[in-house]
Amino acid sequence: MIDIAVLRADPDRVRENIKKKFQEHKLPLVDEALALDERRRALQTEGDALRAARNALSKKIGLLMREKKTAEAEAVKAEVAGDAERLAEIEKETADVEARLKAVMMRIPNFISADTPIGKDDSENVERERFLEPKIPAFEVPYHLDILENLAGIDIDSARRTSGQGFYYLTGDIARLHSAVLAYARDFMIGKGFTYCIPPFMIRSDVVSGVMSFEEMDGMMYKIEGEDLYLIGTSEHSMIGRFMNTTLDEKQLPLTLTSYSPCFRKEKGAHGLEERGIYRIHQFEKQEMIVICKPEESEAWYEKMWHYTVELFVSMEIPVRTLECCSGDLADLKYRSVDVEAWSPRQKKYFEVGSCSNLTDAQARRLGIRYKGESGSRYAHTLNNTVVAPPRMLIAFVENHLRADGSVYIPEVLRPYMGGQKEIVPKK
Protein backbone atom coordinates (compact mmCIF):
# COMPACT_ATOMS: atom_id res chain seq x y z
CA MET A 1 0.00 0.00 0.00
CA ILE A 2 1.48 3.34 -1.04
CA ASP A 3 1.56 6.50 1.06
CA ILE A 4 -1.63 8.57 0.66
CA ALA A 5 0.50 11.72 0.93
CA VAL A 6 2.41 10.65 -2.20
CA LEU A 7 -0.81 9.99 -4.09
CA ARG A 8 -2.19 13.36 -2.99
CA ALA A 9 0.96 15.22 -4.02
CA ASP A 10 1.61 13.44 -7.34
CA PRO A 11 -1.36 11.41 -8.62
CA ASP A 12 0.10 11.33 -12.13
CA ARG A 13 3.09 9.34 -10.83
CA VAL A 14 0.67 6.79 -9.40
CA ARG A 15 -1.26 6.61 -12.69
CA GLU A 16 1.96 6.12 -14.66
CA ASN A 17 3.02 3.30 -12.34
CA ILE A 18 -0.35 1.58 -12.86
CA LYS A 19 0.11 1.85 -16.63
CA LYS A 20 3.61 0.35 -16.40
CA LYS A 21 2.05 -2.67 -14.72
CA PHE A 22 -0.55 -2.92 -17.52
CA GLN A 23 -3.42 -2.51 -15.06
CA GLU A 24 -5.32 0.30 -16.76
CA HIS A 25 -8.56 -0.98 -15.22
CA LYS A 26 -7.23 0.32 -11.88
CA LEU A 27 -6.75 3.92 -13.06
CA PRO A 28 -10.18 5.04 -11.69
CA LEU A 29 -8.96 4.03 -8.22
CA VAL A 30 -6.71 7.10 -8.16
CA ASP A 31 -9.59 9.58 -8.47
CA GLU A 32 -11.72 7.51 -6.11
CA ALA A 33 -8.98 7.58 -3.47
CA LEU A 34 -8.45 11.33 -3.90
CA ALA A 35 -12.18 12.03 -3.49
CA LEU A 36 -12.42 9.87 -0.37
CA ASP A 37 -9.28 11.47 1.07
CA GLU A 38 -10.71 14.95 0.45
CA ARG A 39 -13.98 14.00 2.13
CA ARG A 40 -12.13 12.49 5.09
CA ARG A 41 -10.10 15.66 5.61
CA ALA A 42 -13.23 17.84 5.31
CA LEU A 43 -14.94 15.74 7.97
CA GLN A 44 -11.87 15.99 10.19
CA THR A 45 -11.82 19.79 9.83
CA GLU A 46 -15.52 20.06 10.66
CA GLY A 47 -15.17 17.66 13.57
CA ASP A 48 -12.18 19.54 15.02
CA ALA A 49 -14.11 22.82 14.79
CA LEU A 50 -17.12 21.31 16.58
CA ARG A 51 -14.93 19.88 19.34
CA ALA A 52 -13.25 23.24 19.87
CA ALA A 53 -16.65 24.97 19.93
CA ARG A 54 -17.98 22.40 22.40
CA ASN A 55 -15.11 23.07 24.78
CA ALA A 56 -15.68 26.82 24.57
CA LEU A 57 -19.45 26.47 25.06
CA SER A 58 -18.93 24.15 28.04
CA LYS A 59 -16.89 26.86 29.73
CA LYS A 60 -19.58 29.40 28.88
CA ILE A 61 -22.27 27.23 30.45
CA GLY A 62 -20.28 27.04 33.69
CA LEU A 63 -19.89 30.82 33.74
CA LEU A 64 -23.60 31.43 33.09
CA MET A 65 -24.60 28.98 35.83
CA ARG A 66 -22.37 30.73 38.32
CA GLU A 67 -24.01 34.03 37.34
CA LYS A 68 -27.46 32.45 37.88
CA LYS A 69 -28.34 32.99 34.19
CA THR A 70 -30.19 29.71 33.97
CA ALA A 71 -32.23 30.41 30.83
CA GLU A 72 -29.18 31.47 28.87
CA ALA A 73 -27.25 28.44 30.13
CA GLU A 74 -30.03 26.10 28.98
CA ALA A 75 -29.98 27.69 25.52
CA VAL A 76 -26.25 27.08 25.26
CA LYS A 77 -26.76 23.48 26.47
CA ALA A 78 -29.22 22.94 23.62
CA GLU A 79 -26.61 24.26 21.20
CA VAL A 80 -24.02 21.86 22.63
CA ALA A 81 -26.47 18.96 22.30
CA GLY A 82 -27.05 19.84 18.64
CA ASP A 83 -23.32 19.95 18.03
CA ALA A 84 -22.94 16.57 19.77
CA GLU A 85 -25.47 15.01 17.41
CA ARG A 86 -23.62 16.39 14.39
CA LEU A 87 -20.29 15.24 15.84
CA ALA A 88 -21.65 11.70 16.21
CA GLU A 89 -22.75 11.78 12.56
CA ILE A 90 -19.28 12.98 11.51
CA GLU A 91 -17.53 10.24 13.47
CA LYS A 92 -19.76 7.58 11.92
CA GLU A 93 -19.24 8.90 8.39
CA THR A 94 -15.48 9.27 9.00
CA ALA A 95 -15.20 5.59 9.97
CA ASP A 96 -17.08 4.61 6.81
CA VAL A 97 -14.95 6.87 4.56
CA GLU A 98 -11.69 5.65 6.12
CA ALA A 99 -12.69 1.99 5.60
CA ARG A 100 -13.58 2.67 1.95
CA LEU A 101 -10.37 4.64 1.42
CA LYS A 102 -8.25 1.83 2.89
CA ALA A 103 -9.97 -0.72 0.64
CA VAL A 104 -9.22 1.42 -2.44
CA MET A 105 -5.63 2.13 -1.42
CA MET A 106 -5.00 -1.60 -0.90
CA ARG A 107 -5.89 -2.21 -4.56
CA ILE A 108 -3.43 0.38 -5.91
CA PRO A 109 -0.12 -1.37 -6.73
CA ASN A 110 3.16 -0.50 -5.06
CA PHE A 111 5.67 1.60 -7.03
CA ILE A 112 8.07 -0.50 -9.09
CA SER A 113 11.83 -0.10 -9.17
CA ALA A 114 13.54 1.98 -11.84
CA ASP A 115 15.52 -1.19 -12.62
CA THR A 116 12.38 -3.23 -13.31
CA PRO A 117 12.00 -4.00 -17.03
CA ILE A 118 8.65 -3.02 -18.54
CA GLY A 119 6.72 -5.99 -19.88
CA LYS A 120 3.26 -7.53 -19.85
CA ASP A 121 4.01 -10.99 -18.43
CA ASP A 122 6.74 -13.45 -17.43
CA SER A 123 7.69 -14.01 -21.08
CA GLU A 124 9.30 -10.56 -20.94
CA ASN A 125 11.42 -11.16 -17.84
CA VAL A 126 15.09 -10.37 -18.39
CA GLU A 127 17.96 -12.76 -17.71
CA ARG A 128 20.62 -11.40 -15.35
CA GLU A 129 23.25 -14.07 -14.72
CA ARG A 130 24.00 -17.78 -15.11
CA PHE A 131 25.81 -19.94 -12.57
CA LEU A 132 27.44 -23.29 -13.48
CA GLU A 133 27.44 -24.59 -17.02
CA PRO A 134 24.22 -26.40 -18.05
CA LYS A 135 24.82 -29.96 -19.20
CA ILE A 136 22.87 -32.24 -21.50
CA PRO A 137 23.74 -35.90 -20.89
CA ALA A 138 24.37 -38.35 -23.73
CA PHE A 139 21.34 -40.42 -22.67
CA GLU A 140 17.67 -39.41 -22.70
CA VAL A 141 16.48 -37.94 -19.40
CA PRO A 142 13.05 -39.34 -18.45
CA TYR A 143 10.19 -37.26 -17.03
CA HIS A 144 10.88 -36.51 -13.36
CA LEU A 145 7.91 -38.59 -12.19
CA ASP A 146 9.30 -41.63 -14.01
CA ILE A 147 12.73 -41.08 -12.44
CA LEU A 148 11.24 -40.85 -8.94
CA GLU A 149 9.04 -43.92 -9.46
CA ASN A 150 12.05 -45.91 -10.73
CA LEU A 151 13.79 -45.02 -7.45
CA ALA A 152 10.69 -46.17 -5.51
CA GLY A 153 10.52 -42.63 -4.15
CA ILE A 154 7.01 -41.44 -4.95
CA ASP A 155 3.43 -42.73 -4.93
CA ILE A 156 1.03 -40.50 -6.83
CA ASP A 157 -1.79 -43.02 -7.30
CA SER A 158 -2.36 -43.61 -3.59
CA ALA A 159 -2.32 -39.88 -2.93
CA ARG A 160 -5.04 -39.38 -5.56
CA ARG A 161 -7.19 -41.88 -3.69
CA THR A 162 -6.63 -40.31 -0.27
CA SER A 163 -6.44 -36.64 -1.19
CA GLY A 164 -7.09 -36.05 -4.90
CA GLN A 165 -5.06 -34.46 -7.67
CA GLY A 166 -2.04 -32.37 -6.63
CA PHE A 167 -0.78 -34.53 -3.74
CA TYR A 168 1.85 -37.28 -3.39
CA TYR A 169 3.59 -39.67 -1.02
CA LEU A 170 7.39 -39.50 -0.89
CA THR A 171 9.05 -42.70 0.25
CA GLY A 172 12.42 -44.25 0.97
CA ASP A 173 15.61 -42.50 -0.10
CA ILE A 174 13.72 -39.76 -1.95
CA ALA A 175 11.77 -38.87 1.21
CA ARG A 176 15.07 -38.80 3.07
CA LEU A 177 16.62 -36.61 0.34
CA HIS A 178 13.67 -34.22 0.65
CA SER A 179 14.26 -33.85 4.39
CA ALA A 180 18.04 -33.68 3.90
CA VAL A 181 17.75 -30.70 1.56
CA LEU A 182 15.51 -28.84 4.02
CA ALA A 183 17.91 -29.56 6.90
CA TYR A 184 20.89 -28.48 4.81
CA ALA A 185 19.07 -25.28 3.76
CA ARG A 186 18.22 -24.55 7.40
CA ASP A 187 21.83 -24.91 8.50
CA PHE A 188 23.05 -22.99 5.43
CA MET A 189 20.94 -19.97 6.41
CA ILE A 190 21.86 -20.22 10.10
CA GLY A 191 25.45 -20.07 8.89
CA LYS A 192 24.60 -16.79 7.15
CA GLY A 193 23.51 -15.32 10.48
CA PHE A 194 19.75 -15.86 10.12
CA THR A 195 17.62 -16.92 13.08
CA TYR A 196 15.72 -20.17 12.54
CA CYS A 197 11.94 -20.12 13.14
CA ILE A 198 8.98 -22.47 12.82
CA PRO A 199 5.85 -20.28 12.53
CA PRO A 200 2.10 -20.98 12.79
CA PHE A 201 0.76 -22.69 9.68
CA MET A 202 -2.58 -20.85 9.86
CA ILE A 203 -3.20 -17.10 9.96
CA ARG A 204 -6.17 -14.78 10.34
CA SER A 205 -7.73 -12.76 7.53
CA ASP A 206 -6.25 -9.44 8.66
CA VAL A 207 -2.77 -10.95 8.24
CA VAL A 208 -3.65 -12.41 4.83
CA SER A 209 -4.90 -9.05 3.52
CA GLY A 210 -1.78 -7.43 4.94
CA VAL A 211 0.76 -9.65 3.19
CA MET A 212 -0.81 -10.00 -0.26
CA SER A 213 -3.27 -8.51 -2.74
CA PHE A 214 -6.89 -9.67 -2.97
CA GLU A 215 -6.18 -11.29 -6.36
CA GLU A 216 -3.34 -13.38 -4.90
CA MET A 217 -5.46 -14.30 -1.89
CA ASP A 218 -8.28 -15.63 -4.07
CA GLY A 219 -5.91 -17.64 -6.27
CA MET A 220 -3.83 -19.15 -3.47
CA MET A 221 -5.32 -19.36 0.01
CA TYR A 222 -7.35 -22.19 1.52
CA LYS A 223 -9.98 -20.96 4.01
CA ILE A 224 -10.77 -22.96 7.15
CA GLU A 225 -14.55 -23.32 7.10
CA GLY A 226 -16.34 -21.66 10.00
CA GLU A 227 -13.23 -19.93 11.36
CA ASP A 228 -11.26 -16.77 10.64
CA LEU A 229 -8.23 -18.82 9.64
CA TYR A 230 -6.37 -19.54 6.39
CA LEU A 231 -3.69 -22.14 5.64
CA ILE A 232 -0.45 -20.36 4.74
CA GLY A 233 0.79 -20.43 1.16
CA THR A 234 4.33 -19.71 2.37
CA SER A 235 5.86 -19.08 5.79
CA GLU A 236 6.51 -15.48 4.73
CA HIS A 237 2.83 -14.84 5.52
CA SER A 238 2.97 -15.73 9.21
CA MET A 239 6.58 -14.58 9.61
CA ILE A 240 5.78 -11.03 8.48
CA GLY A 241 2.45 -11.14 10.32
CA ARG A 242 4.36 -11.79 13.53
CA PHE A 243 5.31 -8.11 13.61
CA MET A 244 1.83 -6.72 12.83
CA ASN A 245 1.02 -3.50 14.76
CA THR A 246 4.51 -3.46 16.22
CA THR A 247 7.01 -0.62 16.59
CA LEU A 248 10.52 -2.03 16.63
CA ASP A 249 13.57 -0.37 18.08
CA GLU A 250 15.87 0.80 15.31
CA LYS A 251 18.72 -1.06 17.03
CA GLN A 252 16.87 -4.37 16.40
CA LEU A 253 17.14 -3.94 12.63
CA PRO A 254 17.78 -5.68 10.42
CA LEU A 255 15.78 -8.71 11.50
CA THR A 256 17.07 -11.68 9.48
CA LEU A 257 14.95 -14.81 9.84
CA THR A 258 14.77 -18.17 8.09
CA SER A 259 11.68 -20.33 8.51
CA TYR A 260 10.46 -23.81 7.74
CA SER A 261 6.83 -24.61 6.99
CA PRO A 262 4.49 -26.73 4.95
CA CYS A 263 2.74 -24.61 2.32
CA PHE A 264 -0.79 -24.98 0.97
CA ARG A 265 -1.92 -23.50 -2.35
CA LYS A 266 -4.98 -23.77 -4.55
CA GLU A 267 -2.83 -23.29 -7.67
CA LYS A 268 -5.77 -21.95 -9.67
CA GLY A 269 -5.16 -22.11 -13.40
CA ALA A 270 -2.32 -24.67 -13.23
CA HIS A 271 -2.35 -26.81 -16.36
CA GLY A 272 -0.19 -28.53 -18.97
CA LEU A 273 2.27 -31.43 -19.11
CA GLU A 274 4.67 -30.01 -16.51
CA GLU A 275 1.81 -29.86 -13.99
CA ARG A 276 1.31 -33.68 -14.19
CA GLY A 277 4.09 -34.54 -11.75
CA ILE A 278 5.11 -32.47 -8.73
CA TYR A 279 5.80 -29.14 -10.40
CA ARG A 280 2.52 -27.62 -9.24
CA ILE A 281 0.93 -29.20 -6.19
CA HIS A 282 -1.40 -28.22 -3.37
CA GLN A 283 0.92 -29.10 -0.48
CA PHE A 284 4.68 -28.86 -0.17
CA GLU A 285 7.42 -27.83 2.26
CA LYS A 286 9.80 -24.92 2.02
CA GLN A 287 12.67 -23.12 3.70
CA GLU A 288 12.14 -19.37 3.45
CA MET A 289 14.07 -16.24 4.42
CA ILE A 290 12.67 -12.84 5.36
CA VAL A 291 14.33 -9.56 6.25
CA ILE A 292 12.83 -6.54 8.00
CA CYS A 293 15.12 -3.54 7.69
CA LYS A 294 15.44 0.20 7.33
CA PRO A 295 14.49 1.64 3.91
CA GLU A 296 18.06 2.59 3.02
CA GLU A 297 19.18 -1.04 3.53
CA SER A 298 16.55 -2.94 1.57
CA GLU A 299 18.17 -2.90 -1.87
CA ALA A 300 21.45 -4.24 -0.48
CA TRP A 301 19.55 -7.03 1.28
CA TYR A 302 17.66 -7.80 -1.92
CA GLU A 303 20.95 -8.52 -3.69
CA LYS A 304 22.30 -10.57 -0.78
CA MET A 305 19.19 -12.70 -0.45
CA TRP A 306 18.91 -14.02 -4.01
CA HIS A 307 22.66 -14.63 -4.02
CA TYR A 308 22.18 -16.93 -1.01
CA THR A 309 19.71 -19.07 -2.99
CA VAL A 310 22.10 -19.22 -5.94
CA GLU A 311 24.95 -20.21 -3.63
CA LEU A 312 22.84 -22.99 -2.12
CA PHE A 313 21.95 -24.50 -5.51
CA VAL A 314 25.51 -24.19 -6.80
CA SER A 315 26.74 -26.01 -3.70
CA MET A 316 24.38 -28.85 -4.68
CA GLU A 317 25.91 -28.73 -8.18
CA ILE A 318 22.69 -27.60 -9.88
CA PRO A 319 23.08 -24.96 -12.64
CA VAL A 320 20.85 -21.92 -12.17
CA ARG A 321 20.18 -18.53 -13.66
CA THR A 322 18.45 -15.38 -12.42
CA LEU A 323 15.71 -13.39 -14.13
CA GLU A 324 14.67 -9.83 -13.27
CA CYS A 325 10.87 -9.91 -13.27
CA CYS A 326 9.17 -7.41 -15.57
CA SER A 327 6.50 -4.96 -14.43
CA GLY A 328 3.54 -7.07 -15.56
CA ASP A 329 4.87 -10.14 -13.72
CA LEU A 330 5.13 -8.36 -10.36
CA ALA A 331 2.47 -8.91 -7.72
CA ASP A 332 0.89 -5.64 -6.55
CA LEU A 333 2.93 -5.31 -3.36
CA LYS A 334 6.31 -5.92 -5.00
CA TYR A 335 8.80 -3.15 -5.74
CA ARG A 336 11.05 -5.57 -7.62
CA SER A 337 11.61 -9.29 -7.85
CA VAL A 338 14.14 -11.76 -9.21
CA ASP A 339 13.38 -15.39 -10.01
CA VAL A 340 15.97 -18.11 -9.54
CA GLU A 341 15.59 -20.81 -12.19
CA ALA A 342 17.23 -24.25 -12.27
CA TRP A 343 18.41 -26.03 -15.40
CA SER A 344 16.29 -28.92 -16.68
CA PRO A 345 18.38 -31.34 -18.81
CA ARG A 346 15.18 -33.06 -19.97
CA GLN A 347 13.45 -29.90 -21.19
CA LYS A 348 16.73 -28.22 -22.14
CA LYS A 349 15.59 -25.02 -20.49
CA TYR A 350 15.42 -23.38 -17.07
CA PHE A 351 12.40 -23.42 -14.73
CA GLU A 352 11.58 -21.44 -11.59
CA VAL A 353 12.69 -22.83 -8.23
CA GLY A 354 12.51 -19.66 -6.13
CA SER A 355 11.74 -15.97 -6.05
CA CYS A 356 13.24 -13.03 -4.13
CA SER A 357 11.20 -9.86 -3.61
CA ASN A 358 11.64 -6.40 -2.14
CA LEU A 359 8.25 -5.02 -1.08
CA THR A 360 9.64 -1.75 0.35
CA ASP A 361 7.05 -0.48 2.88
CA ALA A 362 3.93 -1.90 1.13
CA GLN A 363 3.40 -4.77 3.59
CA ALA A 364 4.53 -2.66 6.54
CA ARG A 365 1.86 -0.02 5.83
CA ARG A 366 -0.87 -2.65 5.60
CA LEU A 367 0.24 -4.40 8.79
CA GLY A 368 1.45 -1.41 10.80
CA ILE A 369 5.11 -2.49 11.11
CA ARG A 370 7.22 0.49 12.15
CA TYR A 371 10.56 1.15 13.77
CA LYS A 372 11.59 4.02 16.00
CA GLY A 373 14.97 5.73 16.29
CA GLU A 374 16.48 9.12 16.95
CA SER A 375 14.88 10.55 13.79
CA GLY A 376 11.39 9.38 14.79
CA SER A 377 9.07 6.58 13.70
CA ARG A 378 9.05 5.18 10.13
CA TYR A 379 7.63 2.22 8.28
CA ALA A 380 10.08 -0.65 7.87
CA HIS A 381 10.89 -2.39 4.58
CA THR A 382 10.16 -6.11 4.18
CA LEU A 383 11.80 -8.65 1.86
CA ASN A 384 11.29 -12.37 1.30
CA ASN A 385 13.06 -15.09 -0.65
CA THR A 386 12.78 -18.82 -1.22
CA VAL A 387 15.80 -20.66 0.14
CA VAL A 388 14.58 -23.94 -1.30
CA ALA A 389 11.25 -25.64 -2.03
CA PRO A 390 11.93 -29.38 -2.32
CA PRO A 391 9.24 -30.39 -4.84
CA ARG A 392 10.73 -28.26 -7.61
CA MET A 393 14.22 -28.74 -6.21
CA LEU A 394 13.70 -32.52 -6.43
CA ILE A 395 12.92 -32.19 -10.12
CA ALA A 396 16.11 -30.20 -10.72
CA PHE A 397 18.09 -32.51 -8.44
CA VAL A 398 17.17 -35.85 -10.02
CA GLU A 399 17.42 -34.53 -13.58
CA ASN A 400 20.86 -32.94 -13.08
CA HIS A 401 22.31 -35.83 -11.05
CA LEU A 402 20.80 -38.72 -12.99
CA ARG A 403 23.22 -41.31 -14.36
CA ALA A 404 22.75 -43.54 -17.39
CA ASP A 405 22.04 -46.58 -15.17
CA GLY A 406 19.13 -44.74 -13.48
CA SER A 407 20.97 -44.01 -10.25
CA VAL A 408 21.13 -40.48 -8.81
CA TYR A 409 24.35 -38.96 -7.49
CA ILE A 410 24.32 -37.18 -4.10
CA PRO A 411 26.67 -34.16 -3.83
CA GLU A 412 29.07 -34.00 -0.90
CA VAL A 413 27.24 -31.18 0.94
CA LEU A 414 24.17 -33.42 1.39
CA ARG A 415 25.90 -36.65 2.37
CA PRO A 416 26.09 -35.82 6.11
CA TYR A 417 22.29 -35.42 6.04
CA MET A 418 21.91 -38.74 4.17
CA GLY A 419 23.94 -40.88 6.57
CA GLY A 420 26.95 -40.75 4.27
CA GLN A 421 25.00 -42.10 1.30
CA LYS A 422 26.59 -41.19 -2.06
CA GLU A 423 23.86 -42.25 -4.43
CA ILE A 424 20.27 -43.39 -4.75
CA VAL A 425 19.91 -46.53 -6.84
CA PRO A 426 16.86 -47.81 -8.76
CA LYS A 427 14.61 -50.19 -6.87
CA LYS A 428 12.78 -51.45 -9.97
Domain identity same for 181 and 53: no
Give the SS3 label for residue 351. Answer: strand
Q: What is the pLDDT of residue 272?
A: 46
Query: Could you tell me if residue 114 is inside a domain?
Result: no
Between CA 309 and CA 375 the distance in angstroms is 34
Q: Does pLDDT of 63 surpass 90?
A: no
136 and 264 assigned to the same domain: yes
pLDDT tens-digit series, residues 201-211: 999 999 999 99
> What confidence score (pLDDT) does residue 269 get?
52
Q: Report yes or no on 195 lying in a domain.
A: yes
Does the residue 308 lie in any domain?
yes
For residues 134 and 188, membership in a common domain is answered with yes
Statement to judge: residues 335 and 396 lie in one domain? yes
Instruction: Tell me, yes or no, whether 164 and 81 share the same domain.
Output: no
Helix (H, G, I), strand (E, B) or coil at 236: helix
| Alpha-carbon distances of 24 from 140, 297, 378, rounded to whole Å | 46, 32, 31
Residue 74 has pLDDT above 80, yes or no: no
Query: Could you tell me if residue 142 is inside a domain?
Result: yes
* pLDDT tens per residue, range 82-140: 677 878 888 999 999 999 999 999 999 999 999 999 999 999 999 999 999 999 999 99
Report the pLDDT value the prediction gives residue 61, as an integer from 0 to 100.
65
115 falls within a domain? no
Return the pLDDT at 217: 80
Mean predicted confidence (pLDDT) in 182-191: 98
Query: Domain holding 264: CATH number?
Result: 3.30.930.10
- In a domain, residue 386? The reply is yes
As a whole number of Å, the end-to-end CA separation of the chain is: 54
Packing angle, helices 298-315 and 172-191, rounded to 10 = 140
**Pair (270, 186) in one structural domain:** yes
Judge if 96 and 160 occupy the same domain.
no
Distance (Å) of CA 297 to CA 252, 293, 373:
13, 6, 15
**Residue 273: pLDDT over 50:** no
Which band of pLDDT confidence, cut at 50, 70 and 90, is reported for residue 48?
confident
110 falls within a domain: no
Q: Is 325 in a helix, a strand, or coil?
A: coil
Residues 218 and 315 reside in one and the same domain: yes
Q: How far is C-alpha 35 from the geometric centre of its chain's CA atoms?
A: 30
> Do 67 and 142 lie in a common domain?
no
The pLDDT of 196-225, averaged and rounded, is: 90
Please tell me whether residues 87 and 132 are part of one structural domain: no
Q: How many domains does the chain have?
A: 2
Instruction: Measure the CA angle with vertex 220, ends 216 and 221; round to 5°.
Output: 110
Euclidean distance between CA atoms 252 and 256, whole angstroms: 10
Mean pLDDT of the chain: 92
Query: What single letter denotes the amino acid at residue 405?
Result: D
Clarify whether residues 270 and 405 are in a common domain. yes
Q: Model confidence at 52, in pLDDT bands (50, 70, 90)? A: confident
Mean pLDDT of 47-71: 72
Is 111 inside a domain boundary?
Answer: no
Residue 48's domain comprises 4-105
What is the pLDDT averaged over residues 24-41? 96
Residue 375: per-residue pLDDT: 86
pLDDT of residue 84: 77
Residues 235-261 pLDDT 10s: 999 999 999 999 999 999 999 999 999
pLDDT by residue (tens digit) across 378-425?
A: 999 999 999 999 889 999 999 999 999 999 999 999 999 999 999 999
Here the CATH number for the domain that contains residue 78 is 1.10.287.40
pLDDT at 263 over 50: yes
Question: Within this chain, do residues 80 and 51 fall inside the same structural domain, yes or no?
Answer: yes
pLDDT average, residue stretch 254-271? 85
* pTM metric for this prediction: 0.89
Which residue among 105, 132, 163 closes a domain?
Answer: 105
